[in-house]
Amino acid sequence: MNPSLEMLEMSNSSLRIKCTIPEMTEEKMRELYALFFKATQEHDRTNMTSMSAPILVKEAYEFVVEVLPFAQKRDLFDLMHIFYTLAKDKISQPQYATHMMPVALVSSPDFFSNFCTPAHTSVPIQSLYFGNIMNSGALGVHWTVEFYKPKAKYNQRDREQEIMFTSFEHDRGSVTVRFKFKEQKDHQIQNVEFAVKFYYNAIRRIIVDPISRDDDRRGKKFRFHFDLNCPPEVRSFIDHGNDKMRYGDGKRMIYLSRGWGKDGRESSGPHALAVPDSSVVCLEFSDDMQEDRGVRELFEILSRLRVRSSIPIEFASLDLLNLHYGYYARHFPYVKDAIDPKNAAYMDRIKWATPEASPNKKPKKDDHLNKVGAVEFKLRYVIEALLSRGAKVKDQLLLNAETWASFLDFVCGQYKQNADKTLVVMENVINRIDEMSFPMTSIFRVMLEEVKAYDELKMLNDA
Q: Are 227 and 204 in contact (CB under 8 A)?
A: yes
Closest listed residue to residue 273, CA positions, set 177, 386, 394: 394
Q: What is the pTM of this model?
A: 0.84
- Residue 96: which pLDDT band, with cuts at 50, 70 and 90? confident
- Nearest CA to 175 out of 316, 301, 287 is that of 301
pLDDT at 213 over 70: no
Q: Is 299 exposed, middle or buried (0-12, 13-18, 19+ CB in 10 A)?
A: buried
Of 225, 272, 226, 231, nearest in space to 389 by CA: 231
Domain residue spans of the chain: 3-111, 119-328, 335-462
pLDDT value at position 333? 65
Report residue 145: phi and psi, to 5°.
-115, 120
> What digits encode the pLDDT tens for the residues 344-367?
888 888 888 876 644 555 555 544
Residue 216 has pLDDT above 70, yes or no: no
CA–CA distance, 327 with 262 (Å, rounded to integer): 17
103-143: per-residue pLDDT in tens? 999 988 889 988 888 999 999 998 899 988 988 888 988 88
Q: Which sign, positive or negative, has the C-alpha torsion 438, 441, 447, 451?
A: negative
Q: How confident is residue 424, by pLDDT bands cut at 50, 70 and 90?
A: very high
Using CA atoms, how far apart are residues 42 and 63, in angstroms rounded to an integer?
20
Given this model, what pLDDT does residue 262 score?
Answer: 47
How far apart CA 236 and CA 389 sit, in angstroms, is 26
Alpha helices in 316-367 (DSSP H): 327-331, 344-353
Listed range (222-231, 267-276, 340-349, 446-455) with the worst mean pLDDT: 267-276
Long-range pairs of 346-352 with CB within 8 A, sequence gap ≥ 24 = 346/373, 346/408, 347/372, 347/373, 347/374, 347/375, 348/373, 349/373, 349/408, 349/409, 349/412, 350/374, 350/375, 350/376, 350/379, 350/380, 350/412, 351/376, 352/412, 352/416
pLDDT higher than threshold 50 for residue 377: yes
**Topology at the third CATH level for domain 3-111:** Alpha-Beta Plaits (3.30.70)
pLDDT band at 342 (very low <50, low <70, confident <90, very high): confident
